[in-house]
């Protein structure tokens, strides 16, 4: 299952930072939109807090455990493809040789230099399998130790992100104040989070900041409108 986001080598943060970004991205948006939406339909902050907490815990488990299983599946998928390549190299040598040839021919090699490279890659079967995994299939070997840490980081970030829009509903005395404080706190959090995300991916910080806040605002606005139809 190709559900694990592809890790780019030039990504300027660590893998942990990336997991925090993934979890917090949805954690800040969906619980915020749900709480804002519900405030158009119900009059009790208790219902909103209950729904919000139920959503946060469900979302954190779905993202964390779902991500863990996706990583495990990526691992199994990688191993089954690796076995297949090893089998093909052992039993369909000519076909695999021509695949290596095609890859390097695409970079302008031909004649004797091409054959030299093809023979060099094919001279060691283990290295040949590694080459096919990376350059034919574009698969990187997943790190089995990362999956549980990654899952826990994503789930915790979703949870923490989700608490930011919900806290005002837990603390404020009336619904209107809670909604306004939630919009302000989450708006600031989305702008800051978007800027950090932009910094980490090397794209324009202001643009990333505004886009991230826009997604949260649109989601909340749509949820508010829909819920108000039922309110």
CB of 145 to a second copy, least distance (A): 19
Distance of alpha carbon 165 from alpha carbon 28, whole angstroms: 7
CB of 195 to a second copy, least distance (A): 13
CB of 98 to a second copy, least distance (A): 17
Matching residue, tokens 């993934």: 22
CB of 216 to a second copy, least distance (A): 8
177-204: buried (b, 16+ CB within 10 Å) or exposed (e) per residue?
Answer: ebbebbbebbbebbbebbbbbbebbeee
Residue 2 or 93 with smaller CB distance to a second copy = 2
Distance of alpha carbon 115 from alpha carbon 112, whole angstroms: 5
Contact 74, 4 (CB under 8 A): yes
Residue 55 or 96 with smaller CB distance to a second copy = 55
Is the backbone of residue 111 left (phi > 0), alpha (psi -120 to 50) or beta? left
Q: The tokens of 17 are what?
A: 């930072």
Matching residue, tokens 């690796």: 82
Residue 4 or 153 with smaller CB distance to a second copy = 4
Residue 80 or 98 with smaller CB distance to a second copy = 80
CB of 176 to a second copy, least distance (A): 18
Residue 1 or 92 with smaller CB distance to a second copy = 1
Residue 127 or 176 with smaller CB distance to a second copy = 127
CB of 3 to a second copy, least distance (A): 5
Per-residue DSSP letter, 74 = H
Matching residue, tokens 């039993």: 91
Distance of alpha carbon 33 from alpha carbon 213, whole angstroms: 12
Residue 43 or 98 with smaller CB distance to a second copy = 43
Q: The tokens of 6 are what?
A: 């592809």
Contact 154, 121 (CB under 8 A): no
CB of 19 to a second copy, least distance (A): 11
């Amino acid at each position: 299952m190709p559900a694990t986001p592809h890790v780019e080598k030039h990504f300027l943060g660590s893998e942990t930072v990336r997991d925090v970004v993934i979890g917090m991205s949805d954690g800040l948006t969906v619980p915020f939109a749900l709480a804002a939406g519900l405030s158009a339909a119900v009059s009790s902050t208790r219902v909103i807090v209950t729904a919000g907490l139920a959503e946060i815990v469900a979302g954190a488990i779905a993202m964390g455990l779902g991500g863990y299983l996706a990583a495990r599946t990526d691992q199994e998928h990688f191993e089954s493809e690796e076995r297949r390549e090893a089998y093909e190299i052992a039993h369909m040598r000519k076909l695999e040789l021509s695949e290596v040839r095609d890859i390097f021919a695409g970079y302008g090699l031909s004649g004797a230099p091409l054959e030299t490279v093809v023979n060099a890659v094919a001279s060691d079967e283990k290295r040949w399998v590694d080459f096919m995994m990376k350059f034919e299939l574009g698969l990187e070997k997943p790190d089995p130790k990362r999956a549980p840490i990654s899952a826990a980081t994503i789930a915790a970030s979703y949870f923490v992100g989700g608490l930011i829009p919900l806290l005002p509903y837990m603390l404020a005395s009336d619904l209107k104040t809670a909604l306004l404080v939630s919009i302000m706190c989450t708006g600031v959090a989305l702008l800051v989070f978007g800027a950090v995300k932009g910094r980490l991916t090397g794209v324009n910080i202001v643009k990333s900041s505004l886009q991230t806040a826009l997604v949260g605002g649109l989601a909340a606005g749509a949820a508010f409108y829909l819920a108000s139809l039922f309110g």
